[in-house]
Amino acid sequence: MIIPPFSVPHTWASQSVQDSLTAANPTLNVTVNPANLVPTNAADLDGAQIVRWDQFNIDSLRQAYGDILDRYPVPTVIGHHGPHAVNGLRRFKQVFMDNLFPRLAHPIQTGATVLGARLGTALPNVSIEKDTIVDWPRRSGLSLVSDDGTHFLVGCVLMESQWDSTRLESSHYLEDLAFLPLRRVATYCLATDTRYGFVLTPGEVVVVRVSGTAYDYGQPCRIEWQAVPWGASGPDTLTVSLSLWFVAMMSLNPTHHRLLPPGAAPPLNLWLRYQDPAGVAAYKHHLSLRQAFCLPAGAPVDDAPPT
């Protein structure tokens, strides 16, 4: 049974979702072993468009989820701050599972409970798993998966000696190895009809939104990405944990889970206009269904679909 988030008492043992997800990551002591990317697990994706996901920023995302971040308490997770020895991918994945996943678990459950109440339906229980099969023999290094095996996030895990996102800015051809991790994530998204994923290294997380045709690698595809440093922490800061929580919340909303054609995904800061029972104009955020009577400055608005 899912425990409602408001049942967690405000005590010394709890903190806001915001504070939980913006605390400093554990430090890592990484053994640097020179390694190259292996050009496997990515489909050709001819003609894929790869662009920076500029709208994935703290201002746009707090418009959607700021009330959940600020108002709902979650248990404080006391972890080992490190340094954690990391000598390869297997060890790095385990450090994530032991130290970041516990910090993410209850905020994801809390956000899903709030979102489900707004949608009027129970959302699935999810957990993070390692090396899940998405399209044999392709495996997602880390995935957010429901009890019935549905993928809500897919991921590619690499060492920083293999790749970092700065290489994306200086590459211009889809065939460049710099784009290989993004093409891997896009391949996993297409294979599971999942819109969101990420690339994780000991130096950063790169969140990804994919548009395309499910189960068809030959159709046009759009890959949007945004990088967040491992060392980022503190209030009003995008962190690794907070970024993963944001894309998890987006994907858990059934309206925003599956793939859309390239260019069809709405802006992250879109609000929908409707009339409340008293006939007063009001607004709901399209991602979180957060309600407001005044629009944030500069936010785009559309009429809500008829109910």
Count CB neighbours of 131 within 10 A. 12
**What average pLDDT does range 266-282 have in this prediction?**
91
How do residues 115-168 score in pLDDT, each as one tens digit? 999 999 999 999 999 999 999 999 999 999 999 999 999 999 999 999 999 999
251: helix, coil or strand? Answer: helix
Say how far apart CA 199 and CA 136 lie, in whole Å. Answer: 20
User: pTM for the whole thing?
Assistant: 0.94
**What average pLDDT does range 18-35 have in this prediction?**
94
Hey, where are the domains in the chain? 36-256, 271-303
pLDDT at position 200: 99
Token pair in block for residue 270? 């879109």
8: helix, coil or strand? Answer: coil
Q: How confident is the model at residue 174 (pLDDT cuts 50, 70, 90)?
A: low
Say how far apart CA 100 and CA 91 lie, in whole Å. Answer: 14
More confident residue, 286 or 172: 286
How do residues 243-268 score in pLDDT, each as one tens digit? 999 999 999 999 999 999 999 999 99
Q: Sign of the CA dihedral 244, 81, 139, 176? A: positive
Question: What residues contact 242, with CB distance under 8 A and at least 6 apart?
Answer: 18, 21, 22
Is the Cβ–Cβ distance between 196 and 153 less than 8 Å? yes
Is the Cβ–Cβ distance between 50 and 106 less than 8 Å? no
Say how far apart CA 82 and CA 30 lie, in whole Å. Answer: 12
Count CB neighbours of 124 within 10 A. 14
How do residues 87-124 score in pLDDT, each as one tens digit? 999 999 999 999 999 999 999 999 999 999 999 999 99
Count CB neighbours of 117 within 10 A. 14
Looking at residue 4, the DSSP 8-state letter turns out to be: P
pLDDT at position 206: 99
Token pair in block for residue 27? 């430090």
Is the bond preceding 266 in cis, omega lying within 30 degrees of 0?
Answer: no
